[in-house]
Amino acid sequence: MAGSGTEDAELTIGPPVAGDGGRIWEVANAAGGLDVNTSYAYVLWVRDFAATTAVAREGDRIGAYCTGYLRPDAPDTYFVWQVAVHPDYRRRGLGLAVLQELVERTGASALEATVTPGNTASQRLFAAFAEARGATLTTSPLFSADDFPDEHDPEDLIRITPI
């Protein structure tokens, strides 16, 4: 990453800190393919859900993140809201690394996410995660396009257990 000023910075993975919301929003925009929320949503997320969020940090840059939460009705299940890797950090295993860090930190025994049928990158990521954990991945329809008030693809539920 010549010219970035982070050539000698060590890559670390852990919870976000105050000020990371804007950086996460920038990664969401750069990653492509996400339903990007407002910058305010990411700033607020870091404040309220840092314990269930992970960032891969190199110096002052965030290369990847995963936002999610433990489901209130199933507190042993970690639900992935978004996972994204900045294009400059792809092909380094960071999507898988932030997922691994979160399940270890939260102690979840199951992981869930929704993925549109055409999102092969996310499907591959979750399949790799399940394989790495020796877990079973199941996919089932969750939301149809008719469930959304705007134009939106259907969302399938991916469930990985036990993790």
Q: How far apart are CA 30 and CA 112, in angstroms?
A: 24
Residue type, 37: N
Strands across the sheet with 110-115, in order? 11-14, 53-58, 61-71, 74-85, 110-115, 155-161, 136-143
Q: Strand 61-71 to strand 53-58: parallel, antiparallel, or no bridges (unpaired)?
A: antiparallel
pLDDT in tens, 92-131: 999 999 999 999 999 999 999 999 998 999 999 999 999 9
pLDDT in tens, 47-90: 999 999 999 999 989 999 999 999 999 999 999 999 999 999 99
Q: How far apart are CA 36 and CA 82, in angstroms?
A: 9
Q: Which residue has the tokens 């295993």?
A: 93
Q: How far apart are CA 5 and CA 39, in angstroms?
A: 25
The pTM of this model reads: 0.88
Provide CATH code, domain 12-161: 3.40.630.30
Alpha carbon 20 to its chain centroid, in Å, reads 15
For residue 61, give both structure tokens. 């840059």
For residue 140, give both structure tokens. 């089932």
pLDDT band of residue 137 (cuts 50, 70, 90) is very high
DSSP-assigned states of every residue in 104-126: HHH--SEEEEEE-TT-HHHHHHH
For residue 64, give both structure tokens. 């990847």
Alpha carbon 7 to its chain centroid, in Å, reads 25
The DSSP output letter for 135 is -
Which residues are within 8 A (CB) of 141 and not within 5 positions of it... i.e. 6 or more apart? 154, 156, 157
